[in-house]
A and B are shown apart, each in its own frame.
Chain A
């Protein structure tokens, strides 16, 4: 039983990936250990902190609480997939400009949650932003600068001609 491996195929950051995994492999570990995408951080490993957040078919999820086999046939976007063509994603620029991080440990998760929110609810007010941040534990910033960064990302996305996440992901196989 322990030897069973399951084939899977998914599109990660716009690139088609084929592989096979033990069914118990969690998506976070598949990304980090098998694919070398170590931008996704594992913080608590108990579904609490959100540091491991990635986008699964465009929706923010905790990759420590999703099996890699559950993501078979899906699109996955990690923090490595935010920038495109040498251009930072509006969320990345906003986190830089507003100093939305200190130690940086939660930041990949924070930015993926932010990328989902800015895409899904471009006009979320401060209250809605704070509610969404329920899915992220940051031990450093006290959240103030993260909230500001998300607000700036909203403005940058609206103003910018640069590709947002949707277009950055374009050209994917499915």
Chain B
């Protein structure tokens, strides 16, 4: 299968990419191509020009700082997996990346491409929401910062404007390493039917100081399960309490019937996976 014809431009800098986006007819950015090229082959996307951003050095920055991790949009999944410091400081992220697709896709796909594509079942969506990621964009008007809670506007629709480029994602390192990402994959596609990211911090007496959970795949949009935080903050964890919290957290999503998977099934799956992710994170 062959995409329809397009022009190819390779940008060396962010400024050049923005210029090309503005000047070229129906231009689209090309990162790892693992979502865009399959769509183009099916002719579900027919950009007039592809602007290849893979060689822009600025977008390949990847730093674990004392207070935050800075991930350039072009950082590829396999590079996330290879970062030992990140594994120690934000294990949630490599845990999620490890269950995205297969080795070949992880060699090409990028963190920024996943964010920009905004697939409501993307694994990283749950990580971005749970860990309060911040998206740093460049556009004709300059820099803009968007919080994760304002990122996912609709299925395949992020807060990015067509003339903007996502430069990097910053994730605060505010949580102890009690973290877990658990995925219930669709048996055929491997995408998350429910994927849950959970972060737990415990007070010295063992009670829950804070907890944050987000869910991808199950709902119409990825969502933060705030009910979990409300149910568990200040409490001493027990099986029963985690079950109740999961119930309340799953209720924060909006679900729809989809083929063989009814809305009720999806909400139940979210509940079960939240409970398991909480148990795993608090044991870690």
B contact residues around A65 at 8 Å (CB): 33-34, 37-38, 105, 108
B contact residues around A1 at 8 Å (CB): 5-7, 48
A contact residues around B65 at 8 Å (CB): none
Query: Is there contact, CB below 8 Å, between B2 and A26?
Result: yes
Q: Which of A6, A45, A61 contacts B8 (CB 8 A)?
A: A6
Query: Is there contact, CB below 8 Å, between B108 and A134?
Result: no
The answer to whether the Cβ of A4 comes within 8 Å of any Cβ in the partner chain is: yes
The answer to whether the Cβ of B3 comes within 8 Å of any Cβ in the partner chain is: yes
Docked Cα-Cα span, A66 to B105, in Å, equals 10
The answer to whether the Cβ of B69 comes within 8 Å of any Cβ in the partner chain is: no
Docked Cα-Cα span, A22 to B2, in Å, equals 11
Residue with the highest number of chain B CB atoms closer than 10 Å, among A46, A60, A132, A136: A60
Interface string of B34-48 (1 = CB under 8 A from A): 100110111000001
Q: Which of A54-81 contact B (CB under 8 A)?
A: 56, 59-62, 64-67, 69-70
The answer to whether the Cβ of A50 comes within 8 Å of any Cβ in the partner chain is: yes
B contact residues around A23 at 8 Å (CB): 5-8, 50
Query: Is there contact, CB below 8 Å, between B38 and A2?
Result: no
Query: Nearest residue in A to B55 (C-beta to C-beta)?
Result: A73
Query: Nearest residue in A to B8 (C-beta to C-beta)?
Result: A23
Docked Cα-Cα span, A1 to B5, in Å, equals 7
The answer to whether the Cβ of A38 comes within 8 Å of any Cβ in the partner chain is: no
B contact residues around A53 at 8 Å (CB): 104
Q: Which of B1, B5, B41, B107 contacts A60 (CB 8 A)?
A: B107
Q: Which of B30, B54, B103 contacts A113 (CB 8 A)?
A: B103
Interface string of A120-151 (1 = CB under 8 A from B): 00000000000010111000000000000000
A contact residues around B42 at 8 Å (CB): 46
Nearest Cβ on chain A to B42's Cβ, whole angstroms: 8
Interface string of B1-20 (1 = CB under 8 A from A): 11111111010000000000
Docked Cα-Cα span, A103 to B190, in Å, equals 26
By DSSP majority rule, is chain A's interface helix, strand, loop, or mixed?
Answer: mixed
Count of chain B residues with Cβ under 8 Å from any Cβ of A? 30
Docked Cα-Cα span, A28 to B104, in Å, equals 14
B contact residues around A22 at 8 Å (CB): 5
Docked Cα-Cα span, A113 to B34, in Å, equals 18
A contact residues around B103 at 8 Å (CB): 60, 113, 116-117, 132, 134-135
Nearest Cβ on chain A to B99's Cβ, whole angstroms: 10
Q: Which of A24, A47, A50, A56 contacts B3 (CB 8 A)?
A: A24
Query: Nearest residue in A to B2 (C-beta to C-beta)?
Result: A24
A contact residues around B33 at 8 Å (CB): 65-67, 70
Q: Given A1-B5, A1-B7, answer yes or no on A45-B108 (Cβ-Cβ < 8 Å).
A: no
A contact residues around B48 at 8 Å (CB): 1
B contact residues around A59 at 8 Å (CB): 78, 107
A contact residues around B10 at 8 Å (CB): 69
B contact residues around A64 at 8 Å (CB): 41
Query: Is there contact, CB below 8 Å, between B7 and A46?
Result: no
A contact residues around B107 at 8 Å (CB): 56, 59-61
Q: Which 5 A-B pairs have the closest CB atoms?
A: A135-B102, A23-B8, A2-B5, A59-B107, A134-B102
Give the B-binding residues of A (Cβ under 8 A).
1-2, 4, 6, 22-24, 26, 29, 45-47, 50, 53, 56, 59-62, 64-67, 69-70, 113, 116-117, 132, 134-136
9 new A-B pairs (CB below 8 Å) besides A23-B7, A61-B107? A23-B8, A59-B107, A60-B104, A60-B107, A65-B33, A65-B38, A66-B33, A113-B104, A136-B102
